[in-house]
Amino acid sequence: MYEDKLDRTLELTTSILSMRDLDALLIKITDGITDDFGFEQNDLFLLNDEKDAYVLRVSKGYPVDLKETVEGVVMSVDKFKSDIATADRLGRFTYLYKADPSQNGRGYYGLVHPERVMLPRENPDDWHELDVLYVTLEDSEGNIIGFMEPDSPKNGKLPSKSLTTNLEIFASLASIAVANAEVLSKLERTVKGYKAMLDSTASLQEPGDIETTLKTIGNNLIQFVPHDELSIYMVDWTKNLLVPLYATGPYKEEVMADIGPLSGLAGEVARSGKVEIVADSIADERVEDIPGLESIELAQTMMAIPLKGKRGVEGVLELYRDKSKQFTQIEWSLAEPFAAHAAIAIENARLRQELKSNFESVQKSYEEIKKLDKMKDDLVDTISHEMRTPLTTVLGYLEMASAGMYGEVPPKMKGKFDTMLESVKRINVLISAMLELSRLETNTIKLDFEPVNIAMVTREVVKELEHEIAFKKHKVTVLFGNDLPVVEADRLRIHDVVENMVSNAVKYTRPGGTITIGADILGGRMHLWVKDNGMGIPPEEQDKIFDRFFLADAGLTREDGRLGVGLHISREVIRRHGGDMWFESTKGVGSTFHFAIPLRRSD
C-alpha cells in the first residue's frame, strides 16, 4: 500500500515537473494534495516580495460562501516564521501544529468544519479542526518561497509516517517545479514586455499619425499597469499650455476638450520632471477639475508621469483607477519605458511639423530610433544571460536526481528524468546560440586563435552526431585523412561551424541518404565542404538562407528546437576568420555547403 502511494506521488511530481504555466501548476499541486493525499481542503500561498508576505494563490475545499471570504488572504513572513517555530517539525518540509481546542478558532482565517471546533480530541492521533499542517516550498538555496496548508484529512487522523514521507517527496519536487515555473513566469513577463516594447518601437517608426502611435503605447501599457482612464497631454512651453493628445475611459471627450493653462498637478509634474502618485484625487487640491465634470466626484488614485524627451519634458501622462487599488513605485517602474515611448512619439510629432525647415531634427529622430533598436538587442542579450543561471541550476538538480543522488530512481522515473534532461539541454543550446548571435551583432565576439587540425575536428563532429546519423540510416563518407594542413583558428567555433553544416545535412536528408565531407586547398585557403543528396533549397529561399531566424521549408518545424540562426552565426564566424561561406543547392537533388579560411591568421 505504501509503495502504491509512493508510485502515485512520483507519478504526480513527474507530471508537475513538466508544467510551465505557474497558475496551472499551483492548481495541479492543490488538486494533488486533496485528491491523492486524502485531504478535504488545501490552501497554497506564494511569497510576494513586494508585500514581504505570503499571499493565498489557490484554495480548494471551502464552502462557496467561505471561499470568497478567504480569497487573497495575506500572511506576513514574520507571522509564518512564528507559526512554524511553535509547530512540531516532521521533516524538512512538513510541520504540524497541534492546536489547543480551548482556542475556539481565534486567529484562524477559515475553517472547513466550524461546527467541530468545540469538540475535544478524543484520541492522541485524531485530527482536530484547529490543527494546522504546513508543507513548505523552497528554492534551490533553501529559502521558503511558499507553503501549503492541507486540512481535514479524510481519515480523521494526524499524518502517519508514510504520509509524511510522501508529502516530503512531493514537496521536494513541487518546490523545484514552482521555482522553475516562477523563473519562466518572470521570463515570460520580460519577453511580453520586450514584445510590447518592440510593438511600441515599431509604432514610432510607422508613418501613421500621433494618435495611432499613442493608442498602441496605451494598449501595451495597460497590460502591465492596469488602469481605468489614461490621458496624455503635450506641453506647449511657448504658450504655457497643456494640450490633450490622447485619452481613454468614459470621459475621454471631456479630456480631449480640456486645453488649459500649465497649472495644478500636471503643471507641477511638467516643471519638476518628477513622478507624482496621488492616493485620492478628490482630497488632493492639486488635482484640478476638468470642465464638464465638476459635479462628478470620483474617488480615484492617480499617477502623473512626466514625458521626457531630448528637449526636456514634452508632456504628461496621467493614469487613474479606483483608490482601493493604489498605484505603486513598482508600477511606475513598469510604466517608465512606455512613458519614454510616449515622449518620443510626441517629440516625433514636433519633428514632423518642423521637417520642411529643419532637416537636422529629422536626423536626430533617426538616431533615437537606432538607440531603441540597440535597447532591443540589449534586452535579448539580457534575457539570454538571465536564463543561463536558472537553467544551469535546473540541469544540475535533474542530473543529480536522475543519477540517484536523492535516492533510488525507479526505471519509469528514470525515463522521465532523461526526457526532462534532454529538453533542458536543448534549451541551453538555444540560449547559447542567442548569446553568440548577440555577441556577433554587438561586435563583442572574441576569437581565440590556435593551431587547429580540421581533420580531427571533422571526425569529432561525425562521432558526436553518430546517434542521429544511425537513427536516419545515413551513409557518411569523409574523403580526407589526417594529412590536412594545420590552420590558425578558434577551435571551438570552427567545431560549431562544421557541426552545423553536418547536422543540417543529416536533418534535411531523407532516411538512408548519402553525406560526403571533403577538404582541399583553394586559393591558398583551407576549403571544407559538406554535400548531401537531401531535399535541397527552393530557388525562392536561397537568397535568405543565411538570414537570422530563417528556416527553409523542408517539412520540419521549430518544435524540433531550431531557431534558424545556425547558418547566420556560422557565416559570421567564418568571415571573422577572414574567410567566406557559400553553397549550391537544387531542390529535390541536394545541397553542398562550403567554407574557406586562411591557413594563417592575417593582421
Q: For residue 487, what pLDDT is reported?
A: 94
Q: For residue 145, what pLDDT is reported?
A: 92
Check if the beta carbon of residue 166 is closer than 8 Å to that of residue 4: no
Task: Count CB-CB contacts under 10 A for residue 328.
Answer: 14
Check if the beta carbon of residue 489 is closer than 8 Å to that of residue 452: yes
Cβ-Cβ contacts under 8 Å for 403 (sequence gap 6 or more): none
Sheet holding 53-60, edge to edge: 74-76, 53-60, 39-48, 144-153, 132-138, 94-97, 88-89
Q: Is 2-174 CATH 3.30.450.40?
A: yes
Check if the beta carbon of residue 306 is closer than 8 Å to that of residue 269: yes
How far is it, in rounded angstroms, from Cα 476 to Cα 516?
6
Q: Are strands 514-522 and 475-478 parallel, antiparallel or unpaired?
A: parallel
At which residue does the C-alpha cell 480615484 appear? 300
At which residue does the C-alpha cell 513541487 appear? 174
Check if the beta carbon of residue 149 is closer than 8 Å to that of residue 43: yes
How far is it, in rounded angstroms, from Cα 28 to Cα 148?
13
Task: Write the single-letter amino acid at 10.
Answer: L
Q: For residue 424, what pLDDT is reported?
A: 66
3-class SS of residue 8: helix
Check if the beta carbon of residue 31 is closer than 8 Å to that of residue 59: no
Q: Is 449-598 CATH 3.30.565.10?
A: yes
Q: What separation in angstroms does the CA of 573 have from each of 106, 302, 494, 519?
A: 69, 52, 8, 19
pLDDT averages per 10-residue partition of the chain, 603 residues: 54 72 88 89 88 89 72 86 92 90 65 82 89 92 92 92 90 87 70 60 62 81 85 88 88 84 88 90 82 71 88 88 84 81 76 62 65 62 60 71 75 75 66 64 79 94 93 94 89 92 93 95 93 92 80 50 74 92 93 94 67
Burial class (CB in 10 A: 0-12, 13-18, 19+), 473: exposed
Q: Is 206-353 CATH 3.90.1150.180?
A: no
How far is it, in rounded angstroms, from Cα 309 to Cα 315?
9
How far is it, in rounded angstroms, from Cα 203 to Cα 186?
25
- Residue closest to 316 by CA, chosen among 202, 400, 408, 231: 231
Cβ-Cβ contacts under 8 Å for 179 (sequence gap 6 or more): 137, 138, 139, 140, 145
Angle at 413 between CA 407 and CA 414, to 5 degrees: 80
pTM of the model: 0.41
Check if the beta carbon of residue 94 is closer than 8 Å to that of residue 168: yes
At which residue does the C-alpha cell 538607440 appear? 371
- Residue closest to 166 by CA, chosen among 91, 111, 113, 61: 91
Of the CA atoms within 13 Å of residue 435, those in its CB half-sphere come to 14
Cβ-Cβ contacts under 8 Å for 486 (sequence gap 6 or more): 451, 452, 453
